[in-house]
Structure 1
C-alpha cells in the first residue's frame, strides 16, 4: 500500500509562467508580503506560486497581474522576454530596496497626452469604463489606471485599446495633434450652458438649431 504524498513532497515545476509573474512583481518593486497582501495570500503563498509549487492557468494569472495594477498583456510580454533570453540571460542579482508608495509606478499619477486621448476616444463613443473593460480584456480598475496615468503606456497597448474601441491608429495620432480634445470642449460648453439664465438658454437653443 503506497503512502499518500505529503504537501512537503510536492515537486517544484518552475515554468516561464512562474518566472514571468516573479519578474512583474519585482518590476513593481514589491516584496512577496506586499504582493500577497494585494492578491489575498501570505508571503509563503506567493512564494509557492513563484517557486512552481502551484499550477497556473489563465484565470489565476490574470487575477494576480490585475492585483498588481497590471494586465494580462504585461504578463505575456514578460514571458516572451524570458523565453527569448532564457538561454543567454545571466543570473540576476537583486539589491533589495525599500520603496515608498510614492516611488512605485502604480502610486504615481502621470497623466500624459496619450492618457487624455484614450479617455477622449472612449467618451466620444459613449463607452463606459465597464464596457471598455470587456472590449479590451482588461479589468475595470486597469482602465481607470490607464486613464489616470498610473500605468505606463507602450505603443502596443495603445494600439490594442484604440482598435478595441473601433478606431484606427491614425485617429489616435490625429487626436494627439489637437490642442484641445473634443470631449473637453463639449464638457466646457455644457458647463457654460448650465450657467445661463432661461432667456440666454433659449437664444443658444435657437442658434444650435440653425446649425
Structure 2
C-alpha cells in the first residue's frame, strides 16, 4: 500500500529541505517505469518540462488531477484500477528506473562475423591456399593463426578491405608472392575456383551425364 511520506535532506548551503512524496506521485512513477514510459514522454503528454516531471516524482511538486487523468489514459489504467494500486489491492512491480528506457543493442546477427560477404580478396586467398596444397589447419599453423581465423577470412566473415598487412602476411606464409595475389585479384575469372567448382559438380552427376560432359569438352581441345 502506498503512503504519503516525508523525506528531509540537507542542501549544500546547510539548509534542510523536506520533500512530500504523495501516494499518487509514488504510484504514477512505478506505473510509468512498469509501462516502460520515459520521463521525456510524460513531459510531452502533459505539456511540462522533464525537470517538472522529475520534481513531481521526487515529491517537490505534485501532478494536477488533469495531468493524472492524462497519464492514466496513457498507461491504460482506469481511475478505479489506480485506486486499487494505491490501496495495494493491485500490485505493480517496483523496477529500476532504467527499465523504462529501451535498449538499442544490435542484433548479434547484424555483426560481420555472423554474415558471409565473400569478397574477391577472400576468394583469392582461398585459391592461393589451395595452390600451396594446404588445408586450413596447416595454413593456420604457417600464419600463426587459429583455423577459424583462416576460415573467417575465406568465408567472408571478416572484411579484408583495410587489412593489406594481414593479407601480405598470409600470402607470404603460403610461399606465394604479392604479384600472384594482385594478378588473381585483377583477373576476370579465377581459373582455379572455376575448375574446383566444375570438379565438385562432376562428382555428383550420373555416369551417362558424365559421358555427355566428356563429349562436350572434347570439342574444346
Instruction: Give the shorter-chain TM-score range.
Output: 0.3 to 0.5
Normalised to the residue count of structure 2, the TM-score between the two structures is: 0.44
- RCO greater where, 1 or 2, for CA within 8 Å and sep 6 or more? 1
- Point out the structure with the larger strand share: 2
Decide which structure has the larger Cα Rg and report it: 2
